[in-house]
Structure 1
Amino acid sequence: MFKKFFILITTFLFLAASVFSTNVALAHQQKAAETTVLFNKRSGQLEVSHRFYIHDTEHAVQSLFDKNADIINSNQTQQQFADYVAQQFLIQTLTETDLPLTNVGYEVEGKFFWVYQETVIPSKLAGIKMFNGALRDLWPTQINMVNIEGKGNVRTLYFSNNKDWLITEF
């Protein structure tokens, strides 16, 4: 009887510790962001969607702009962060011709902050060269993953450490 009780208590404590440690881990900065570059043949637009963890952006805006900056409730802070992301994300053709992106908007959605951009898809594009420095100037361990979709198989690039400009060919 005592042995069964001991096993039950041990199991309960193990499960409780697991749940607690998971919640604590989720509260820490992720230092990771995801961007999707979509070649939308229907609209003729190259659509860019940046997704950041809201917890990361909360810390970032207080370092980048003002210690009282509020990414969740302040439209001004949201616009500042969207402008920052736009300055940190660049696309060129393989011949190093800039593809200027138009800022489309931004939004807070659950635990994410989204920034949207677009440009017209150039004709006869053999590949693209990209720079994604968002938050990497603040945190050297920041990893920015970029998925390129709509040109055959999905390609994924990882911007981390000293990787500044990366290339994908079609």
Structure 2
Amino acid sequence: MLRRLVLMLALVLAPLAGGAALAHQQKIAISTVSVNPRTGMIEIVHQVPVHDAEHALRQQGVRLPDIVGSAKSREDFARYVTTRFMLEVNGVAVTPAYVGSEISGGSLMVYQEAPGPDGEASVRVNSQILTDVWARQENRVNLGRGADVTTFIFTGGEPPREGVLTR
């Protein structure tokens, strides 16, 4: 009887445990690139699940990364993110300045900015964040704001994509 009860409990709880395990490695990063109409600056926001960020730091040799509790771990990962995202504006490579990072929910948010175009601009983007850690990593880049958004999806080794960014 007890064995049967334990088996039933295990069968009921198994799907919950599987979902929790999957939640730890989402293997998706989302970046948003838009022009702030007030400042005219290109603003870039990268959103990466905290667990994925910590796993990437371990892959880079950081012994006990703690994105939530350690500003150093956050900064280490933010530096990594800035090297894995490419931006060109009107055919010119742009190196966005690092603005900062913060934890929001279960994600690490990394902020960058660059001088914006005077009007409409042709931009090329490529997000290879975490593609060196997981072959199945998928990165989404949302270009624009409001109802005028173009979304690109990148996996490891894919070439940059081109779109239009307006003020």
Normalised by the length of structure 1, the TM-score is 0.81
User: For each residue in 1:67-108, what CA deviation from the matched residue of structure 2 results, as whole angstroms up to 9, or x when unmatched?
Assistant: 32222222111111111111111210242x122211110012
CA distance in 2, matches of 1:135, 1:24: 19
CA-CA distance at 1:14 after TM superposition: 7.8
Tell me the equivalent position of 2:55.
59
How many residues are aligned here? 158
Structure 2 CA distance for partners of 1:137 and 1:126, relative to 1, 3 Å: same
Q: Secondary structure at the match of 2:93?
A: coil
- 2:119 is aligned with 1:121: no
Q: Secondary structure at the match of 2:57?
A: helix
Structure whose alpha-carbon radius of gyration is higher: 1
CA-CA distance at 1:22 after TM superposition: 2.9
Gapped regions of structure 1 (runs ≥ 5): 1-9
Tell me the equivalent position of 2:145.
150
Which of 57, 60, 64 is 1:68 aligned to?
64
Larger relative strand fraction: 2
Question: 1:35·1:145 contact (CA, 8 Å) conserved in 2?
Answer: yes
CA distance in 2, matches of 1:86, 1:146: 14
Q: Secondary structure at the match of 1:98?
A: strand
Question: 1:133·1:164 contact (CA, 8 Å) conserved in 2?
Answer: no
Which of 88, 91, 95 is 1:100 aligned to?
95
Normalised by the length of structure 2, the TM-score is 0.82
Structure 2 CA distance for partners of 1:20 and 1:159, relative to 1, 3 Å: same
